[in-house]
Chain A
């Protein structure tokens, strides 16, 4: 079945550092890909999405490109802030179901 493998955390960074969270997927079809973020004490929020190969999703300085050849959707941000501290989930949607990765906890220190 469909699955998402996400880089394990936790990840601790200093402010203004570069962040990459790796995500690869296995799917039989052509899924849409998502990054969701969960800030401390809050629910899941959609961060960005891409619906087909070579699409780039972006939001709040975060970017991820749908790479069909490597079945990847890595999340990147060039300069993180303390407010980016959260748990990040990679997910794929095939038909109507979402499959989530394990989540990566990111802590940004001032």
Chain B
């Protein structure tokens, strides 16, 4: 298994600003993922982050809005850029060690409120 921590746990931001969320895993993992959970809704995958390559974004998400870094096998960041109230969500980091039957483990989430 993997234990995942995220910082900050929550934040309140002004529109037009940017916030960087950090995700730390307690072991080396091959794949890391970023999800968004809008209020009362399910999880939507934003992008997949692999070490040493560009992140792969899902339909509806772009790098300019959600730049991602993956500098090593235990750490990743997600930046929410030029925020608007519609970006108010919980952002979750997830990690997988890869393999066909592997499990994804989730961090506690970052609750973002944009005013």
Query: Which residues of A pack against B, CB within 8 Å?
Result: 32, 34, 36, 42-46, 49, 51, 89, 93, 96-98, 100-103
**Assuming A42-B108, A43-B107, A44-B106, is B41 touching A96 (CB within 8 A)?**
no
Give bound CA distance, A36 to B103, whole Å. Answer: 11
Q: Is A44 touching B101 in the complex (CB atoms < 8 A)?
A: no
Cβ-closest 6 pairs across A and B: A43-B108, A44-B106, A100-B42, A51-B101, A43-B109, A100-B43
Counting chain A CB atoms within 10 Å of each CB, which of B31, B42, B94, B108 scores highest? Answer: B42
Q: Chain A contact residues: over half helix, strand or loop, or mixed?
A: strand
Cβ of B98: which chain A residues have Cβ within 8 Å of it? 96
Give bound CA distance, A105 to B108, whole Å. Answer: 18
Which one of A46, A89, A102, A103 contacts B103 once the chains associate, using CB atoms below 8 Å?
A: A46
**Assuming A43-B109, A45-B106, A49-B103, is B96 touching A102 (CB within 8 A)?**
no
Cβ of A101: which chain B residues have Cβ within 8 Å of it? 42
Q: Is B42 touching A103 in the complex (CB atoms < 8 A)?
A: yes
Which one of A42, A89, A98 contacts B45 once the chains associate, using CB atoms below 8 Å?
A: A98
Q: What would be 19 A-B contacts, judged by CB atoms less than 8 Å apart? A: A32-B101, A34-B103, A42-B108, A43-B106, A43-B108, A44-B43, A44-B106, A46-B103, A89-B42, A89-B43, A98-B33, A98-B43, A98-B104, A100-B42, A101-B42, A102-B41, A102-B42, A103-B41, A103-B42
